[in-house]
Amino acid sequence: MSEAARPVRDDHRALHNVAARYREVLRRYFERRRLSGADADDAVQEVFAKLAQRANIVEIEKIEAYIFEIAANVVTDHFRRSVSRRSNAHDEYDDSLHAGEEFSPERLHLGKEALLRLMQALDELPERTRNIFILARLEHLTYPEISKRLCVSVSAVEKHMVKAIAHVTLRMGRRA
């Protein structure tokens, strides 16, 4: 066996032994630091991936200290990424909360027709009334925010909204 192949094989064996010995310890370490489930498993994997990138693993004198230094950096990186990506503001996908059904061509056609009727109803409104309706219903602005933006009173915004809702409801085929 060549001398170049021996360190690679020794590193592979050492990495395997370290992974077997520290996998569960690292998982508990990450769980104590509020990483759970798949995040904890991913963090453990990341520790071993970083360790595998280093040459001559067998030469590390204090392997446990080195592993936990990597683990501490992984935790810091994880929370830094979660803050920058606002991952705590995301909801996980849940099949029970989302439509699992396929939309039939008929249902798609009915939806397109309803959208067309809504657009026509909005086009029939005076410009200011239409703008107020869109700001309130589509852009989710409050009446005081709309009032400030358009330089009108809150009462005027309310009156425009009553007019718009009555018109849209009538044109969409529902009783006001």
What is the per-residue DSSP string for 55-124? S-GGG-S-HHHHHHHHHHHHHHHHHHHHHHTTGGGPPPP-GGGS--SPPPHHHHHHHHHHHHHHHHHHHH
* pLDDT over 50 (residue 5): no
Q: How far is 129 from 171, CA to CA, in rounded Å?
A: 15
* pLDDT over 70 (residue 4): no
140-154 residue pLDDT tens: 999 999 999 999 999
Q: How far is 55 from 14, CA to CA, in rounded Å?
A: 11
- Domain spanning 109-171, CATH class: mainly alpha
Using alpha carbons, list the distances in angstroms from residue 66 to 8, 21, 90: 19, 14, 33
58-109 residue pLDDT tens: 788 888 899 999 999 999 988 888 777 665 566 676 766 666 667 788 888 9
* pLDDT band per the 50, 70, 90 thresholds, residue 14: confident
CATH fold of 5-88, please?
A: Rna Polymerase Sigma Factor; Chain: A (1.10.1740)
pLDDT, position 98? 65
Q: How big is the chain, counted in residues?
A: 176
Domain ranges for the chain = 5-88, 109-171
